[in-house]
Structure 1
Amino acid sequence: MAKKEYRYEEICRDIVAKKFAPVYIMMGDEPFFMDQITDLLLENVLEESERDFNQIIMYGADTDAASIINAARRFPMMSKYQLVVVREAQLIRDIELLSNYVKNPLMSTVLVINYKYKNLDRRKTLASATDKIGVLFESKKIPDYKMPAFISSFMQLRSVGIDGKAAQMLSDFLGNDLSRLSKELDKLALILPEKGAKRITPELV
Protein backbone atom coordinates (compact mmCIF):
# COMPACT_ATOMS: atom_id res chain seq x y z
CA MET A 1 0.00 0.00 0.00
CA ALA A 2 1.38 3.43 -0.97
CA LYS A 3 2.34 5.83 1.76
CA LYS A 4 0.16 8.92 2.19
CA GLU A 5 1.03 12.04 0.25
CA TYR A 6 3.12 14.40 2.36
CA ARG A 7 1.87 17.95 2.70
CA TYR A 8 4.28 20.87 2.66
CA GLU A 9 3.08 22.21 6.04
CA GLU A 10 3.46 18.76 7.64
CA ILE A 11 7.04 18.38 6.44
CA CYS A 12 7.93 21.87 7.69
CA ARG A 13 6.37 21.21 11.11
CA ASP A 14 8.36 17.99 11.53
CA ILE A 15 11.64 19.68 10.55
CA VAL A 16 11.11 22.53 13.02
CA ALA A 17 10.28 19.89 15.68
CA LYS A 18 13.65 18.21 14.83
CA LYS A 19 11.92 15.07 13.53
CA PHE A 20 14.12 14.33 10.52
CA ALA A 21 13.71 11.61 7.90
CA PRO A 22 16.90 9.86 6.67
CA VAL A 23 16.01 10.70 3.04
CA TYR A 24 14.05 13.53 1.44
CA ILE A 25 13.38 13.43 -2.29
CA MET A 26 11.56 16.48 -3.58
CA MET A 27 10.42 16.48 -7.17
CA GLY A 28 7.96 18.28 -9.42
CA ASP A 29 7.30 21.48 -11.32
CA GLU A 30 7.11 23.96 -8.40
CA PRO A 31 10.64 24.77 -7.17
CA PHE A 32 9.43 27.14 -4.42
CA PHE A 33 8.36 24.42 -1.95
CA MET A 34 11.57 22.43 -2.54
CA ASP A 35 13.72 25.49 -1.85
CA GLN A 36 11.75 26.32 1.30
CA ILE A 37 12.02 22.78 2.70
CA THR A 38 15.73 22.58 1.82
CA ASP A 39 16.42 25.94 3.51
CA LEU A 40 14.53 24.77 6.59
CA LEU A 41 16.67 21.61 6.76
CA LEU A 42 19.85 23.67 6.33
CA GLU A 43 18.75 25.83 9.27
CA ASN A 44 17.56 23.04 11.58
CA VAL A 45 19.55 19.81 11.15
CA LEU A 46 22.92 21.18 12.30
CA GLU A 47 24.08 23.86 14.68
CA GLU A 48 26.27 26.49 13.05
CA SER A 49 29.36 25.11 14.79
CA GLU A 50 28.72 21.62 13.32
CA ARG A 51 28.35 22.65 9.67
CA ASP A 52 32.00 22.84 8.60
CA PHE A 53 32.51 19.11 9.07
CA ASN A 54 29.00 17.73 8.65
CA GLN A 55 27.30 19.65 5.83
CA ILE A 56 27.91 18.72 2.19
CA ILE A 57 26.23 20.45 -0.77
CA MET A 58 26.52 18.77 -4.17
CA TYR A 59 25.25 19.68 -7.65
CA GLY A 60 23.76 17.22 -10.12
CA ALA A 61 25.84 18.46 -13.04
CA ASP A 62 29.09 17.75 -11.14
CA THR A 63 28.35 14.48 -9.39
CA ASP A 64 27.00 10.94 -9.78
CA ALA A 65 25.16 8.36 -7.66
CA ALA A 66 28.36 6.71 -6.36
CA SER A 67 29.76 10.04 -5.06
CA ILE A 68 26.48 10.85 -3.31
CA ILE A 69 26.34 7.38 -1.71
CA ASN A 70 29.96 7.72 -0.51
CA ALA A 71 29.14 11.09 1.06
CA ALA A 72 25.94 9.79 2.66
CA ARG A 73 27.73 6.78 4.20
CA ARG A 74 30.18 8.95 6.16
CA PHE A 75 29.60 9.23 9.88
CA PRO A 76 29.13 12.67 11.46
CA MET A 77 31.98 14.31 13.38
CA MET A 78 31.09 15.59 16.86
CA SER A 79 27.44 15.84 15.84
CA LYS A 80 24.33 13.67 15.91
CA TYR A 81 23.77 14.16 12.16
CA GLN A 82 25.45 14.97 8.91
CA LEU A 83 23.48 16.73 6.17
CA VAL A 84 23.99 15.98 2.46
CA VAL A 85 22.07 18.23 0.05
CA VAL A 86 22.01 17.47 -3.68
CA ARG A 87 20.76 20.38 -5.78
CA GLU A 88 19.66 20.03 -9.44
CA ALA A 89 19.52 16.24 -9.06
CA GLN A 90 17.52 15.99 -12.31
CA LEU A 91 20.92 16.32 -14.06
CA ILE A 92 22.30 13.08 -12.52
CA ARG A 93 22.25 10.43 -15.24
CA ASP A 94 22.45 7.39 -12.97
CA ILE A 95 20.18 8.72 -10.20
CA GLU A 96 18.25 5.42 -9.96
CA LEU A 97 21.41 3.81 -8.47
CA LEU A 98 20.79 5.86 -5.31
CA SER A 99 18.18 3.24 -4.48
CA ASN A 100 21.08 1.02 -3.31
CA TYR A 101 21.64 3.51 -0.48
CA VAL A 102 18.00 4.48 0.17
CA LYS A 103 17.01 0.85 0.84
CA ASN A 104 19.42 0.84 3.81
CA PRO A 105 20.28 4.44 4.75
CA LEU A 106 22.53 5.60 7.57
CA MET A 107 20.23 7.01 10.24
CA SER A 108 22.81 9.64 11.20
CA THR A 109 22.69 11.11 7.67
CA VAL A 110 19.93 13.38 6.38
CA LEU A 111 20.08 13.09 2.58
CA VAL A 112 18.16 15.75 0.63
CA ILE A 113 17.59 15.37 -3.12
CA ASN A 114 16.14 18.27 -5.15
CA TYR A 115 14.81 16.88 -8.44
CA LYS A 116 13.34 19.97 -10.10
CA TYR A 117 10.89 20.40 -12.99
CA LYS A 118 10.49 16.62 -13.39
CA ASN A 119 9.10 13.65 -11.49
CA LEU A 120 10.84 10.38 -10.70
CA ASP A 121 9.06 7.28 -11.99
CA ARG A 122 7.15 6.09 -8.92
CA ARG A 123 7.18 2.52 -10.27
CA LYS A 124 10.97 2.36 -10.00
CA THR A 125 12.94 1.42 -6.90
CA LEU A 126 14.32 4.85 -5.90
CA ALA A 127 10.89 6.44 -5.52
CA SER A 128 9.25 3.40 -3.89
CA ALA A 129 12.15 2.86 -1.43
CA THR A 130 12.08 6.56 -0.44
CA ASP A 131 8.33 6.33 0.06
CA LYS A 132 8.83 3.50 2.57
CA ILE A 133 11.66 4.96 4.63
CA GLY A 134 11.72 8.71 4.06
CA VAL A 135 9.83 11.60 2.52
CA LEU A 136 8.90 11.54 -1.16
CA PHE A 137 7.34 14.94 -1.86
CA GLU A 138 5.83 16.01 -5.16
CA SER A 139 5.89 19.79 -5.40
CA LYS A 140 2.99 20.84 -7.60
CA LYS A 141 2.02 24.21 -9.05
CA ILE A 142 -0.98 25.68 -7.26
CA PRO A 143 -3.95 26.33 -9.59
CA ASP A 144 -4.97 30.01 -9.76
CA TYR A 145 -8.37 29.31 -8.17
CA LYS A 146 -6.68 27.87 -5.05
CA MET A 147 -4.26 30.76 -4.58
CA PRO A 148 -6.35 32.92 -2.17
CA ALA A 149 -6.72 29.94 0.23
CA PHE A 150 -2.99 29.16 -0.13
CA ILE A 151 -2.06 32.78 0.64
CA SER A 152 -4.20 32.67 3.82
CA SER A 153 -2.59 29.42 5.06
CA PHE A 154 0.90 30.62 4.05
CA MET A 155 0.47 33.77 6.17
CA GLN A 156 -0.97 31.69 9.03
CA LEU A 157 2.35 29.81 9.14
CA ARG A 158 3.97 33.21 9.71
CA SER A 159 1.43 34.10 12.44
CA VAL A 160 -0.09 36.84 10.27
CA GLY A 161 -3.78 37.05 9.36
CA ILE A 162 -5.05 38.24 5.99
CA ASP A 163 -8.52 39.37 4.90
CA GLY A 164 -10.18 37.27 2.19
CA LYS A 165 -10.41 40.30 -0.11
CA ALA A 166 -6.70 41.08 0.38
CA ALA A 167 -5.78 37.46 -0.43
CA GLN A 168 -7.90 37.63 -3.60
CA MET A 169 -6.26 40.94 -4.63
CA LEU A 170 -2.78 39.47 -4.23
CA SER A 171 -3.79 36.37 -6.17
CA ASP A 172 -5.21 38.49 -9.02
CA PHE A 173 -2.07 40.64 -9.11
CA LEU A 174 0.62 37.95 -8.78
CA GLY A 175 -0.97 34.80 -10.22
CA ASN A 176 0.69 31.59 -8.96
CA ASP A 177 4.31 32.80 -9.04
CA LEU A 178 5.15 31.69 -5.49
CA SER A 179 8.66 33.16 -5.35
CA ARG A 180 7.32 36.60 -6.25
CA LEU A 181 4.38 36.15 -3.88
CA SER A 182 6.72 35.30 -0.99
CA LYS A 183 8.76 38.47 -1.60
CA GLU A 184 5.63 40.64 -1.70
CA LEU A 185 4.25 39.05 1.49
CA ASP A 186 7.60 39.66 3.22
CA LYS A 187 7.32 43.35 2.27
CA LEU A 188 3.75 43.55 3.59
CA ALA A 189 4.74 41.81 6.84
CA LEU A 190 7.42 44.49 7.42
CA ILE A 191 4.87 47.33 7.51
CA LEU A 192 2.63 45.63 10.07
CA PRO A 193 2.69 46.91 13.67
CA GLU A 194 5.13 45.13 15.97
CA LYS A 195 2.59 44.76 18.77
CA GLY A 196 -0.92 43.36 18.73
CA ALA A 197 -2.63 41.15 16.16
CA LYS A 198 -0.96 41.25 12.75
CA ARG A 199 -3.36 41.35 9.81
CA ILE A 200 -3.04 42.27 6.15
CA THR A 201 -6.04 44.27 4.91
CA PRO A 202 -7.08 45.35 1.37
CA GLU A 203 -5.91 48.88 2.23
CA LEU A 204 -2.37 47.62 2.89
CA VAL A 205 -2.32 45.71 -0.40
Structure 2
Amino acid sequence: MPAVHAMVGEDTFLQLEAIRRIAAALGKDAQRIDFDGETAQLADVMDELRSFSMFAGTKLVVLRTAEEFISRYRSNMEEYVAAPVETATLVLRCKSLPGNQKISKLIAKHGKVEMCEPPKGRDLTPWIVSRAKTPHGLTIAPGAAQLMAELVGNDLGRLDNELAKLALMVDGKVTEADVGRSVVFQRDQEMWHMTDELTAGRVDKALQRWRQLVQSDSSTEFRAVTWLAIWLEKALKAMKLKQKNMNPFAIAKELRIWPANNVDSLLRTAERMGSAGLARALDLLAEVDHRSKSGLGDASDNVERFILSLAKT
Protein backbone atom coordinates (compact mmCIF):
# COMPACT_ATOMS: atom_id res chain seq x y z
CA MET A 1 0.00 0.00 0.00
CA PRO A 2 1.56 3.35 -1.05
CA ALA A 3 1.98 5.80 1.81
CA VAL A 4 0.74 8.77 -0.26
CA HIS A 5 -2.19 8.91 -2.67
CA ALA A 6 -3.38 11.85 -4.76
CA MET A 7 -7.02 11.75 -5.93
CA VAL A 8 -7.07 14.27 -8.77
CA GLY A 9 -10.25 15.47 -10.45
CA GLU A 10 -13.68 17.02 -10.03
CA ASP A 11 -15.72 13.87 -9.39
CA THR A 12 -16.59 13.48 -5.71
CA PHE A 13 -18.01 9.98 -6.17
CA LEU A 14 -14.81 8.60 -7.69
CA GLN A 15 -12.73 10.21 -4.95
CA LEU A 16 -14.94 8.73 -2.22
CA GLU A 17 -14.84 5.31 -3.86
CA ALA A 18 -11.06 5.42 -4.06
CA ILE A 19 -10.82 6.38 -0.38
CA ARG A 20 -13.13 3.49 0.55
CA ARG A 21 -10.88 1.06 -1.30
CA ILE A 22 -7.85 2.37 0.59
CA ALA A 23 -9.69 2.20 3.92
CA ALA A 24 -10.77 -1.37 3.20
CA ALA A 25 -7.20 -2.36 2.35
CA LEU A 26 -5.92 -0.83 5.60
CA GLY A 27 -8.48 -2.77 7.63
CA LYS A 28 -11.36 -1.80 9.87
CA ASP A 29 -9.07 -0.95 12.80
CA ALA A 30 -7.31 1.87 10.94
CA GLN A 31 -7.91 5.28 12.49
CA ARG A 32 -9.20 7.89 10.03
CA ILE A 33 -8.58 11.63 10.40
CA ASP A 34 -9.95 14.24 7.96
CA PHE A 35 -8.67 17.78 7.38
CA ASP A 36 -9.89 20.69 5.26
CA GLY A 37 -6.94 21.85 3.19
CA GLU A 38 -8.07 25.48 3.23
CA THR A 39 -7.90 25.77 7.02
CA ALA A 40 -5.64 22.95 8.22
CA GLN A 41 -2.29 23.85 9.75
CA LEU A 42 0.89 22.05 8.74
CA ALA A 43 1.81 21.15 12.32
CA ASP A 44 -1.56 19.48 12.95
CA VAL A 45 -1.41 17.37 9.79
CA MET A 46 2.20 16.32 10.39
CA ASP A 47 1.49 15.49 14.02
CA GLU A 48 -1.27 13.11 12.94
CA LEU A 49 0.90 11.49 10.28
CA ARG A 50 3.96 11.03 12.48
CA SER A 51 2.34 10.12 15.80
CA PHE A 52 1.31 6.58 16.66
CA SER A 53 -2.35 5.72 17.09
CA MET A 54 -3.20 4.48 20.57
CA PHE A 55 -6.12 2.36 19.39
CA ALA A 56 -5.18 1.32 15.84
CA GLY A 57 -2.21 -0.11 14.02
CA THR A 58 -2.24 2.52 11.30
CA LYS A 59 -3.77 5.86 10.33
CA LEU A 60 -5.59 7.14 7.27
CA VAL A 61 -5.21 10.92 6.97
CA VAL A 62 -7.47 12.48 4.33
CA LEU A 63 -6.88 16.07 3.20
CA ARG A 64 -9.75 17.72 1.29
CA THR A 65 -9.04 20.64 -1.09
CA ALA A 66 -5.43 19.55 -0.82
CA GLU A 67 -4.30 21.90 -3.59
CA GLU A 68 -4.92 24.82 -1.21
CA PHE A 69 -2.83 23.14 1.50
CA ILE A 70 -0.05 22.32 -0.96
CA SER A 71 0.11 25.92 -2.20
CA ARG A 72 0.67 27.12 1.40
CA TYR A 73 3.18 24.46 2.41
CA ARG A 74 4.67 23.31 -0.89
CA SER A 75 8.27 22.73 0.22
CA ASN A 76 7.18 20.96 3.42
CA MET A 77 4.83 18.68 1.48
CA GLU A 78 7.50 17.89 -1.10
CA GLU A 79 9.86 16.95 1.72
CA TYR A 80 7.26 14.70 3.35
CA VAL A 81 6.18 12.96 0.12
CA ALA A 82 9.83 12.18 -0.67
CA ALA A 83 10.14 10.28 2.64
CA PRO A 84 6.68 9.47 4.06
CA VAL A 85 6.22 7.58 7.31
CA GLU A 86 5.26 3.91 7.08
CA THR A 87 2.64 3.96 9.85
CA ALA A 88 0.20 6.33 8.12
CA THR A 89 -1.42 6.70 4.71
CA LEU A 90 -1.95 10.22 3.38
CA VAL A 91 -4.71 10.90 0.84
CA LEU A 92 -4.66 14.24 -0.99
CA ARG A 93 -7.97 15.16 -2.64
CA CYS A 94 -7.25 17.70 -5.37
CA LYS A 95 -9.30 19.24 -8.14
CA SER A 96 -6.09 19.57 -10.12
CA LEU A 97 -2.44 18.64 -9.68
CA PRO A 98 -0.40 19.45 -12.80
CA GLY A 99 1.91 16.62 -13.73
CA ASN A 100 4.84 18.96 -14.34
CA GLN A 101 4.89 20.09 -10.70
CA LYS A 102 7.60 18.64 -8.47
CA ILE A 103 5.13 17.35 -5.89
CA SER A 104 3.13 15.52 -8.55
CA LYS A 105 6.28 13.79 -9.78
CA LEU A 106 7.24 12.89 -6.20
CA ILE A 107 3.81 11.38 -5.51
CA ALA A 108 3.99 9.37 -8.74
CA LYS A 109 7.44 8.09 -7.69
CA HIS A 110 6.80 7.35 -4.01
CA GLY A 111 3.02 6.87 -3.98
CA LYS A 112 0.13 6.85 -6.42
CA VAL A 113 -1.76 9.43 -8.47
CA GLU A 114 -5.32 8.43 -9.35
CA MET A 115 -7.39 10.47 -11.80
CA CYS A 116 -10.99 11.02 -10.68
CA GLU A 117 -12.72 12.47 -13.72
CA PRO A 118 -16.07 11.02 -14.83
CA PRO A 119 -16.21 9.22 -18.19
CA LYS A 120 -17.74 11.25 -21.00
CA GLY A 121 -19.46 10.55 -24.29
CA ARG A 122 -19.05 6.99 -25.52
CA ASP A 123 -17.03 6.01 -22.44
CA LEU A 124 -20.00 6.44 -20.07
CA THR A 125 -22.03 3.41 -21.21
CA PRO A 126 -19.11 0.95 -20.69
CA TRP A 127 -18.61 2.46 -17.22
CA ILE A 128 -22.25 1.74 -16.38
CA VAL A 129 -21.91 -1.84 -17.65
CA SER A 130 -18.75 -2.37 -15.57
CA ARG A 131 -20.18 -0.72 -12.43
CA ALA A 132 -23.36 -2.79 -12.74
CA LYS A 133 -21.29 -5.99 -12.69
CA THR A 134 -19.04 -4.91 -9.82
CA PRO A 135 -20.10 -4.29 -7.11
CA HIS A 136 -23.83 -4.68 -7.86
CA GLY A 137 -23.72 -8.14 -9.48
CA LEU A 138 -25.86 -7.07 -12.45
CA THR A 139 -25.69 -7.81 -16.15
CA ILE A 140 -27.11 -4.78 -17.92
CA ALA A 141 -28.08 -4.77 -21.59
CA PRO A 142 -26.20 -2.19 -23.70
CA GLY A 143 -29.47 -0.47 -24.58
CA ALA A 144 -30.41 -0.24 -20.91
CA ALA A 145 -27.01 1.20 -20.03
CA GLN A 146 -27.34 3.74 -22.83
CA LEU A 147 -30.80 4.73 -21.54
CA MET A 148 -29.40 5.29 -18.05
CA ALA A 149 -26.64 7.43 -19.52
CA GLU A 150 -29.21 9.54 -21.38
CA LEU A 151 -31.49 9.92 -18.35
CA VAL A 152 -28.88 10.60 -15.68
CA GLY A 153 -25.81 11.86 -17.52
CA ASN A 154 -22.32 11.38 -16.09
CA ASP A 155 -23.28 12.03 -12.46
CA LEU A 156 -21.64 8.82 -11.21
CA GLY A 157 -23.10 9.03 -7.71
CA ARG A 158 -26.65 9.10 -9.07
CA LEU A 159 -25.89 6.35 -11.58
CA ASP A 160 -24.56 4.16 -8.78
CA ASN A 161 -27.68 4.85 -6.71
CA GLU A 162 -29.88 3.75 -9.62
CA LEU A 163 -27.85 0.56 -10.07
CA ALA A 164 -28.19 -0.21 -6.35
CA LYS A 165 -31.94 0.22 -6.64
CA LEU A 166 -32.10 -2.01 -9.73
CA ALA A 167 -30.14 -4.71 -7.89
CA LEU A 168 -33.08 -5.02 -5.49
CA MET A 169 -35.67 -4.99 -8.26
CA VAL A 170 -34.40 -7.52 -10.79
CA ASP A 171 -32.95 -11.01 -10.81
CA GLY A 172 -29.46 -10.22 -12.00
CA LYS A 173 -30.29 -8.90 -15.49
CA VAL A 174 -31.34 -5.35 -16.37
CA THR A 175 -33.37 -4.43 -19.46
CA GLU A 176 -34.48 -1.07 -20.83
CA ALA A 177 -37.93 -1.73 -19.36
CA ASP A 178 -36.36 -2.25 -15.93
CA VAL A 179 -34.60 1.10 -16.19
CA GLY A 180 -37.90 2.76 -17.11
CA ARG A 181 -39.67 1.15 -14.14
CA SER A 182 -36.97 2.17 -11.67
CA VAL A 183 -38.40 5.72 -11.56
CA VAL A 184 -35.14 7.55 -12.15
CA PHE A 185 -34.74 10.64 -9.98
CA GLN A 186 -37.53 9.79 -7.50
CA ARG A 187 -35.31 8.73 -4.60
CA ASP A 188 -32.87 11.55 -5.29
CA GLN A 189 -35.71 14.05 -5.12
CA GLU A 190 -36.87 12.55 -1.80
CA MET A 191 -33.34 12.88 -0.45
CA TRP A 192 -33.37 16.54 -1.53
CA HIS A 193 -36.60 17.00 0.44
CA MET A 194 -34.92 15.49 3.50
CA THR A 195 -31.91 17.78 3.21
CA ASP A 196 -34.26 20.74 2.66
CA GLU A 197 -35.74 20.00 6.09
CA LEU A 198 -32.24 19.93 7.56
CA THR A 199 -31.46 23.24 5.89
CA ALA A 200 -34.57 24.77 7.46
CA GLY A 201 -33.58 23.41 10.89
CA ARG A 202 -36.55 21.02 11.04
CA VAL A 203 -34.64 17.99 12.28
CA ASP A 204 -37.81 16.13 13.35
CA LYS A 205 -39.19 16.42 9.81
CA ALA A 206 -35.84 15.33 8.35
CA LEU A 207 -35.84 12.23 10.57
CA GLN A 208 -39.41 11.47 9.54
CA ARG A 209 -38.49 11.66 5.85
CA TRP A 210 -35.38 9.53 6.46
CA ARG A 211 -37.41 6.78 8.13
CA GLN A 212 -39.94 6.84 5.29
CA LEU A 213 -37.10 6.51 2.79
CA VAL A 214 -35.65 3.48 4.58
CA GLN A 215 -39.07 1.83 4.80
CA SER A 216 -39.81 2.35 1.10
CA ASP A 217 -36.34 1.46 -0.20
CA SER A 218 -34.10 -0.76 1.93
CA SER A 219 -31.01 0.11 -0.13
CA THR A 220 -31.27 3.75 0.97
CA GLU A 221 -29.35 3.23 4.21
CA PHE A 222 -26.33 1.92 2.30
CA ARG A 223 -26.39 4.74 -0.28
CA ALA A 224 -27.11 7.61 2.10
CA VAL A 225 -23.51 8.28 3.16
CA THR A 226 -22.38 8.75 -0.45
CA TRP A 227 -25.40 10.96 -1.21
CA LEU A 228 -24.97 13.10 1.91
CA ALA A 229 -21.23 13.49 1.31
CA ILE A 230 -21.89 14.69 -2.24
CA TRP A 231 -24.61 17.05 -0.92
CA LEU A 232 -22.29 18.60 1.67
CA GLU A 233 -19.39 18.95 -0.74
CA LYS A 234 -21.65 20.53 -3.35
CA ALA A 235 -22.83 22.97 -0.67
CA LEU A 236 -19.19 23.94 -0.07
CA LYS A 237 -18.58 24.37 -3.78
CA ALA A 238 -21.82 26.33 -4.26
CA MET A 239 -20.82 28.75 -1.50
CA LYS A 240 -17.42 29.37 -3.13
CA LEU A 241 -19.00 29.91 -6.55
CA LYS A 242 -21.51 32.37 -5.11
CA GLN A 243 -18.63 34.27 -3.53
CA LYS A 244 -17.28 34.64 -7.07
CA ASN A 245 -20.61 36.30 -8.02
CA MET A 246 -21.84 33.34 -10.05
CA ASN A 247 -25.65 33.26 -10.36
CA PRO A 248 -27.71 30.26 -9.10
CA PHE A 249 -28.46 28.94 -12.60
CA ALA A 250 -24.77 28.96 -13.52
CA ILE A 251 -23.92 27.28 -10.20
CA ALA A 252 -26.47 24.53 -10.91
CA LYS A 253 -24.93 23.95 -14.34
CA GLU A 254 -21.38 23.95 -12.97
CA LEU A 255 -22.21 21.45 -10.20
CA ARG A 256 -24.59 19.34 -12.33
CA ILE A 257 -27.57 19.93 -10.06
CA TRP A 258 -30.97 18.89 -11.39
CA PRO A 259 -33.59 20.32 -11.07
CA ALA A 260 -31.68 23.60 -11.08
CA ASN A 261 -33.78 25.13 -8.30
CA ASN A 262 -32.25 22.61 -5.87
CA VAL A 263 -29.23 24.91 -5.78
CA ASP A 264 -31.26 27.29 -3.59
CA SER A 265 -31.34 24.76 -0.75
CA LEU A 266 -27.59 24.16 -1.15
CA LEU A 267 -26.92 27.87 -0.79
CA ARG A 268 -29.15 28.06 2.29
CA THR A 269 -27.26 25.12 3.79
CA ALA A 270 -23.92 26.78 3.07
CA GLU A 271 -25.09 30.08 4.57
CA ARG A 272 -26.42 28.44 7.74
CA MET A 273 -23.49 26.10 8.40
CA GLY A 274 -20.57 28.06 6.96
CA SER A 275 -17.43 26.46 5.57
CA ALA A 276 -16.21 25.34 9.00
CA GLY A 277 -19.57 23.73 9.84
CA LEU A 278 -19.72 21.92 6.51
CA ALA A 279 -16.16 20.64 7.02
CA ARG A 280 -17.07 19.34 10.50
CA ALA A 281 -20.16 17.65 9.06
CA LEU A 282 -18.03 15.89 6.44
CA ASP A 283 -15.72 14.66 9.19
CA LEU A 284 -18.71 13.32 11.14
CA LEU A 285 -20.03 11.62 8.02
CA ALA A 286 -16.68 9.92 7.45
CA GLU A 287 -16.92 8.55 10.99
CA VAL A 288 -20.49 7.33 10.30
CA ASP A 289 -19.25 5.53 7.18
CA HIS A 290 -16.38 3.94 9.11
CA ARG A 291 -18.68 2.77 11.92
CA SER A 292 -21.20 1.25 9.51
CA LYS A 293 -18.54 -0.60 7.50
CA SER A 294 -16.87 -1.81 10.72
CA GLY A 295 -20.12 -3.30 12.00
CA LEU A 296 -20.40 -0.71 14.78
CA GLY A 297 -24.13 -0.14 14.93
CA ASP A 298 -26.92 -0.34 12.37
CA ALA A 299 -26.30 1.70 9.19
CA SER A 300 -29.72 3.37 9.36
CA ASP A 301 -29.27 4.27 13.03
CA ASN A 302 -25.81 5.68 12.31
CA VAL A 303 -27.31 7.98 9.66
CA GLU A 304 -29.99 9.07 12.14
CA ARG A 305 -27.29 10.03 14.63
CA PHE A 306 -25.58 12.02 11.90
CA ILE A 307 -28.82 13.87 11.11
CA LEU A 308 -29.23 14.72 14.79
CA SER A 309 -25.63 15.92 14.96
CA LEU A 310 -26.31 18.41 12.14
CA ALA A 311 -28.80 20.16 14.40
CA LYS A 312 -25.86 21.07 16.64
CA THR A 313 -23.59 22.19 13.80
Under TM normalisation by the shorter chain, which class is it? Answer: 0.7 to 0.9
Mapping 1:52-131, distance limit 5 Å? 54-77=31-54, 79-92=56-69, 93-96=71-74, 97-115=76-94, 118-131=95-108
Paired residues of 1:142 and 1:176 also in contact (CA < 8 A) = yes
SS, match of residue 62 in structure 1: coil
Asked whether the 8 Å contact 2:65–2:93 carries over to 1, the reply is: yes
Whether the aligned pair in 1 keeps the contact of 2:131 and 2:160 (CA below 8 Å) is no
Structure of greater Rg: 2
Displaced runs of 4+ in structure 1, greater than 4 A? Answer: none
Could you tell me whether the CA contact under 8 Å between 1:119 and 1:138 is conserved in 2?
no
1:1-205 superposed matches below 5 A: 20-47=1-28, 50-51=29-30, 54-77=31-54, 79-92=56-69, 93-96=71-74, 97-115=76-94, 118-158=95-135, 159-193=137-171, 198-205=172-179
Q: How far off is 1:66 after superposition?
A: 3.8
Taking every aligned residue pair, what percent have the same amino acid on both sides?
Answer: 25
C-alpha contact (below 8 Å) 1:72/1:84 kept by paired residues = yes
> Alpha-carbon deviations, 1:100-141, whole Å to 9, x = none?
1110011121111111xx311222221111101111112123
| Equivalent residues of 1:60, 1:88 under 8 A apart | yes
Q: Which of structures 1 and 2 has the larger relative contact order (alpha carbons within 8 angstroms, sep 6+)?
A: 1
Letter in structure 2 aligned against 1:173: L
C-alpha displacement of 1:169: 0.8
Q: Whose strand proportion is higher, 1 or 2?
A: 1
Structure 1: stretches of 5+ with no match in the other structure: 1-19
8 Å CA contact 1:144, 1:171 repeated in 2? no
Let me know the Cα RMSD of the aligned residues: 1.9
Q: Is the 8 A contact 1:81 1:109 kept in 2?
A: yes
| Cα distance in 2, alignment partners of residues 102 and 167 from structure 1 | 41
Post-superposition CA distance 1:69-113 (Å, at most 9, x none): 222112233543211111222332425231111100111211111
More divergent stretch after superposition (167-176 vs 34-43)? 34-43
Post-superposition offset of 1:30: 2.1
Structure 2, unaligned stretches of length 5 or more?
Answer: 180-313
Say if 1:125 and 1:65 are closer, same or farther in 2 by CA, change over 3 A.
farther
Q: Secondary structure, in 3 states, of the residue corresponding to 1:204?
A: helix
In the superposition, the TM-score normalised over structure 1's length comes to 0.77
The TM-score with structure 2 as length reference comes to 0.52
Aligned residues: 176
